[in-house]
Amino acid sequence: DFHHLAEEWSQWMIAMTWQVALLVAFVALVDRLCGRRLWPQVRAALWAVVFIKLLLPPTFSSPLSIAALVLPAATAAQASSAPLVTNEPGQPSNGVLVASAVLWAGGALGLVILRALRNRALVRALARDATTYAISAWQRTLLVECARRVGIRRIPQLVVTDRVASPAVAGLVRTRVLLPLSSVATFSRESLTHIYLHELMHVRRGDLWIEAGTLLVCAAYWFHPLVAWAARRASARRRGGQPLDC
């Protein structure tokens, strides 16, 4: 029933809170001490470990763990021999657990809705900018050439906008390469080729989808400040200092 689910949820979150805190501290220490000697891909992979951990159960005894799927008989035997847990003095009551679960769900859902509304507003703004600011023919042609070089068949839309300070990519379904209005006229063919190749590699690697998945994890752990901090570090490592818009 819902009370049982609330109890399982509380045990999950309590365990994950301290486990992730320790993991983030360890990864941050390694990144700081060894960062300059590590490849950028390795540093990005280090922070990815944090979010892989957030998707896994905190213990192997969890009914959602890999061990429970591989060894169902052993897990069932362990569960049948375990004593029945009841509310003991000092433990939160069922009402507190249910209220906490509802508060968590409301916060997570609210953050997802807020992000969706922000993305919708961004898409509409970029659609207006696409018809407002002119783009040179050679800039479009160069984007097509660069997309073919990196193996992308579906050419992203090129948009000049005043909503970014530096080149970026945005959009999961309809990908756009964004060029800042303030500096688009100063880009040479060589510099723009480098910009296109850099941004298109994010598209080819699926970084926008990774960023979207990270945002969902952050919404699920909205109460944990280190998760949001780790997400910013992970995005910076993937991006080289500039977060992606998705």
Instruction: Give the pLDDT confidence of 183-228 residue by residue, as tens digits.
Output: 888 899 999 999 999 999 999 988 889 889 999 999 999 999 999 9
Quote the tokens at residue 22.
């320790």
DSSP code for 157:
E
User: What strand order describes the sheet that includes 176-180?
Assistant: 157-161, 176-180, 168-170
- pLDDT averaged over the chain? 81
User: In the prediction, which pLDDT does 92 show?
Assistant: 58
Q: Could you tell me the pLDDT band of residue 159, with boundaries at 50, 70 and 90?
A: very high
Q: What is the pLDDT of residue 240?
A: 61
Per-range mean pLDDT, top range of 14-28, 29-43, 91-105, 227-241:
14-28
Alpha-carbon gap, residue 228 to 214, rounded angstroms? 9
> What does the alpha-carbon distance between residue 196 and residue 211 come to, in Å, rounded to a whole number?
19
Q: Kindly report the pTM of this predicted structure.
A: 0.72
pLDDT digits (tens, 9 = 90+) for 45-79: 888 899 888 888 877 444 444 334 444 443 444 44
**C-alpha closest to that of 55 among 193, 190, 213, 243:** 213
